[in-house]
DNA sequence: GTATATGCAAAGGTTTTGCACAGCC
DNA sequence: GGCTGTGCAAAACCTTTGCATATAC
């Protein structure tokens, strides 16, 4: 996938500029997360990376994730299942999570902006709506629950 | 505190009706959580209960919290620090948490309702805005960050 | 060559679970 | 007396950390 490869190169460039070294492990981890749509947990990422490169240790994955977050490449969000990482370019994804059936959906950028604007009116608080999911009932479950 | 005692009795009544037994440990745990304003973590709750009743085990606290949540007395929310429990009557507390200084604030009921209404327009999703905090920058930190 | 990154192992923290015993009803 | 709840200990997770070794630059 050309797009993904290009992204990987971009990230490698960012890391290089920070004086960081590009090890095969880092390449594999970066490649895997750039290939990922949406979010992924450290544990799941570790498993995937190990499919390609069996020796990679979980601690290396954690250290790399922290690094990439510091470098502004990744961010993490808290979903019901725990912490999950995603590319910052994919931010804007405000996560809706159904507490009954587990269905996941996202708000549109416009919807997210409208929400942010409302919250900002509360004492100038600037929300990052991507950091925590929004839990609730999807329309289907709502119907079943309320009858 | 008369109000708190009354609440404790209410909860005990609810548990009794479910055929559950009232042990001194459960009384202590219920009393402590009814006395709590806002939210408290299982760990903090355990410590507090142990101040009064040294023998109480953490696993008993976890089991009791799960029970009280099932009974509809408590609910838990995910804050930056992890899971925290609160009384359901205290719901409506939409938590704003500053990711920079850790300051905490709540939206008013009206603000929360306005937000919910907006989100509901997205495919009929009924949000529970109390379940996850909303992360972001408080006005002070925002000023310092943006200059 | 040197500083950095990795693997390994251990530790830390939170939450869950199995089991024997205690105690509520 | 019988069934439920508790304490204890262990285990299950997830994540972090210290240290010796390997390796990118």
pLDDT band at B8, cuts 50/70/90? confident
pLDDT of B52 higher than 70: yes
Most A CBs within 10 Å: which of B91, B100, B127, B134, as the mutation test of the A interface?
B134
| A65 CB within 8 Å of a chain B CB | no
Nearest Cα neighbor of B89 from B102, B73, B67 is B73
Q: What is the mean pLDDT of chain B?
A: 92
The predicted structure's pLDDT at residue A108: 92
Share of chain B above pLDDT 70, in %: 97
Strands (E), chain A: 74-79, 82-87, 94-98, 104-107, 126-128, 134-137
Report the sign of the C-alpha dihedral through residues A22, A24, A26, A30, in that order: positive
Kindly report the number of other CB atoms within 10 A of residue A131's CB atom: 21
pTM, 2 dp: 0.89
Question: Cα–Cα distance between B109 and B115 in angstroms, integer?
Answer: 10
- Confidence bin at B4 (pLDDT 50/70/90): confident
Domain with CATH 3.30.1490.190 in chain A: 92-146
Q: Between vectors from CA A45 to CA A58 and to CA A16, what angle results, nearest 5°?
A: 80
Burial string for A9-23 (b: 16+ CB within 10 Å, else e) reads eebbeebeeeeeeee
Domain B4-75: give its CATH architecture.
Answer: Orthogonal Bundle (1.10)
Distances in whole angstroms, Cα of residue A46 to Cα of each of A25, A39, A138, B18, B128: 11, 13, 31, 44, 32
Q: Are A86 and A93 in contact (CB under 8 A)?
A: yes
In this structure, what DSSP letter does residue B88 have? G
Counting Cα atoms < 13 Å in the Cβ hemisphere of B31 gives 16
Of residues B110, B99, B106, B81, the one with CA closest to residue B142: B99
Q: Is B100 on the interface with A (CB under 8 A)?
A: no
Nucleotides of C under 7 A from a protein CB: 4-10, 13-18, 23-25
* SS3 state of residue A10: helix
The answer to whether B60 CB sits below 7 Å from nucleic acid chain C is no
Tens digit of pLDDT for each residue in A43-98?
Answer: 999 999 999 999 999 999 999 999 999 999 999 999 988 999 999 988 678 999 99
pLDDT at B70: 94
Mean pLDDT of B11-16: 92
Q: How far apart are CA B68 and CA B65, in angstroms?
A: 5
Q: What is the mean pLDDT of residues B45-61?
A: 96
CA B32, chain centre distance (Å):
13
pLDDT in tens, A2-57: 577 778 889 999 999 999 999 999 999 999 999 998 899 999 999 999 999 999 99
Residue extent(s) of CATH 1.10.10.10 domains in chain B: 4-75
* CATH of the domain spanning A92-146, picked from 2.50.20.10, 3.40.50.300, 1.10.10.60, 3.30.1490.190: 3.30.1490.190
pLDDT at position A1 is: 57
Residue A124 forms contact with B (CB below 8 Å): yes
């Amino acid at each position: 996938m050309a797009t993904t490869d290009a992204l990987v190169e971009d990230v490698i460039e960012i890391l290089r500029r920070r004086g960081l070294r590009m090890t095969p492990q880092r390449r594999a981890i970066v490649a895997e997360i750039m290939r990922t749509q949406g979010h992924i947990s450290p544990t799941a990422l570790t498993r995937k990376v190990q499919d390609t490169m069996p020796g990679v240790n979980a601690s290396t994955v954690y250290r790399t994730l922290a690094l990439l977050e510091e470098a502004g490449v990744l961010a993490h969000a808290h979903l019901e299942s725990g912490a999950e990482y995603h590319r910052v370019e994919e931010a804007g994804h405000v996560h809706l999570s159904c507490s009954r059936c587990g269905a996941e959906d996202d708000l549109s950028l416009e919807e997210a902006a409208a929400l942010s604007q409302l919250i900002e009116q509360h004492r100038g608080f600037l929300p990052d709506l991507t950091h925590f999911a929004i839990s609730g009932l999807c329309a289907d479950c709502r119907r079943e629950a309320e009858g």
